[in-house]
Amino acid sequence: MTPGRHRELSSARQRSRADHKAASVRAGAMRALTLEGRRLALCSDYPIPRPPRGESLVRVRMAGICGTDLELARGYMGFSGVPGHEFVGEVERSAQRGLVGARVVGEINAGCARCTRCRSGLARHCPSRTVLGIVKRDGAFADYLVLPDENLLVVPDTMPDEVAVFAEPVAAALEIFENTSIDEHERVAVLGDGRLGAIVALTLRARGYETVIGGHHPEKLAALRSVGLKAKLESELVSGFDVVAECTGNSAGVSRALELVRPRGKVILKSTAARSTKLNLVPAVINEIALIGSRCGRLKPALEMLERGEIDPRPLVCTIVPFERAMAAISAARQPLNFKVLLKM
Ligand SMILES: [Zn+2]
Ligand SMILES: [Zn+2]
């Protein structure tokens, strides 16, 4: 990856590119990648969303393709509409004056604001929540998206788009610490050498934990070693880890995690997969293993960690694809040897 390839365009040039593209689609319409009945298609006449009261209109600058997006296209969550939940954009319309023109990332869960969970600050678990590009809310693979004003966080000027776009996956990795305490001396294994496993391992290491990542692809493991991670073939990992974070994307990974963790250890479940397979949980009973589910996290600490440079996710970017070629970008993201594919609007 040569950093020069992804050098930022000047903002003026970007604006004129955006103006040109806006002119090429009819008024009130935008480009969007849509998912309908498990079929992804790129269109140029999707209606630009209108922000309801309390929400802002954000012009997407860059979006990341996540394993969850690929699973949605396999039927996960039964979603139809515009997928995409990892983004950095610019606020175009908002009742919050201070936000207009700001470059932002966004918390993807939008709660009802009334229930007890929302009032306790846990909109991520509101029973009637919508989730950007995942549950009843169009997402970031489009020129525009809308999110509640309070979900938006301003990105520091010095942070490039291709770093800011990782705020959401880093937040999901940090979520591990919200409901699991890991002692500083504990040994952690991350199962899965995909984009999720890589981000989780980078985050754990940035928090000071001795972490080893186990996977199936020697090429990817070599790439992970080149960013300073300890990476091994999964078959070479030896049981006895205090904590195993399961990031493989399939339930066979859970069985393997149960083998690798020590008695009374913890298995953190991070995979979201459309397919379910049979899973024998008896080892978890015999060895008294804590199984801990973990999903989305808070964006603020993630953005701060990225700003401090504690994690640099850029080596994980294998390509930045113009949005016109979104279908090719999806194919690239499906290639098992690729880490992160980014879409540039
Ligand atoms: Zn994701
Ligand atoms: Zn609620």
Q: Domain check: are 31 and 159 in the same one?
A: yes
Q: Domain check: are 163 and 276 in the same one?
A: no
What does the pLDDT average to over 169-181? Answer: 92
Measured in Å, residue 135 CA sits from the centre of ligand 2 at 14
Q: Domain check: are 87 and 225 in the same one?
A: no
Measured in Å, residue 90 CA sits from the centre of ligand 1 at 20
Q: Domain check: are 138 and 187 in the same one?
A: no
Q: Domain check: are 167 and 219 in the same one?
A: no
**Which-ligand-closest: CA of 247?**
1
**Which-ligand-closest: CA of 200?**
1
Q: Domain check: are 279 and 318 in the same one?
A: no
- Summarize pLDDT for 138-169 with one digit per residue, the tens: 999 999 999 999 999 999 999 999 999 999 99
Report the DSSP beta bridge partners of residue 320: 342
Q: Domain check: are 17 and 104 in the same one?
A: yes
**Which-ligand-closest: CA of 70?**
1
**Distance, CA of 50 to CA of 253 (rounded, Å):** 42
Measured in Å, residue 169 CA sits from the centre of ligand 1 at 6
Provide the residue range defining the domain that includes 255.
176-293
**Which-ligand-closest: CA of 172?**
1
Answer with the one of 250, 272, 293 that is the final residue of a domain.
Answer: 293
Q: What share of the chain in percent tops pLDDT 70?
A: 92
Measured in Å, residue 100 CA sits from the centre of ligand 2 at 26
Per the CB < 8 A criterion, the answer to whether 56 and 96 are in contact is yes
Residue 189 in this model has a pLDDT that exceeds 90? yes
Q: Domain check: are 259 and 316 in the same one?
A: no
Where residue 237 sits, what CATH number does that domain have?
3.40.50.720
Number of domains in the chain: 2
Q: Domain check: are 149 and 222 in the same one?
A: no
Q: Domain check: are 147 and 19 in the same one?
A: yes
What does the pLDDT average to over 246-251? Answer: 86
**Which-ligand-closest: CA of 128?**
2
Where residue 127 sits, what CATH number does that domain have?
3.90.180.10
Q: Domain check: are 315 and 233 in the same one?
A: no
Residue 21 in this model has a pLDDT that exceeds 60? no
202-205-208 Cα angle (round to 5): 155
Q: Which residue has the higher pLDDT, 6 or 34?
A: 34
What does the pLDDT average to over 67-72? Answer: 91
CA dihedral 306, 309, 313, 315 (to 10 degrees): 160
Measured in Å, residue 296 CA sits from the centre of ligand 1 at 8
Q: Domain check: are 78 and 90 in the same one?
A: yes
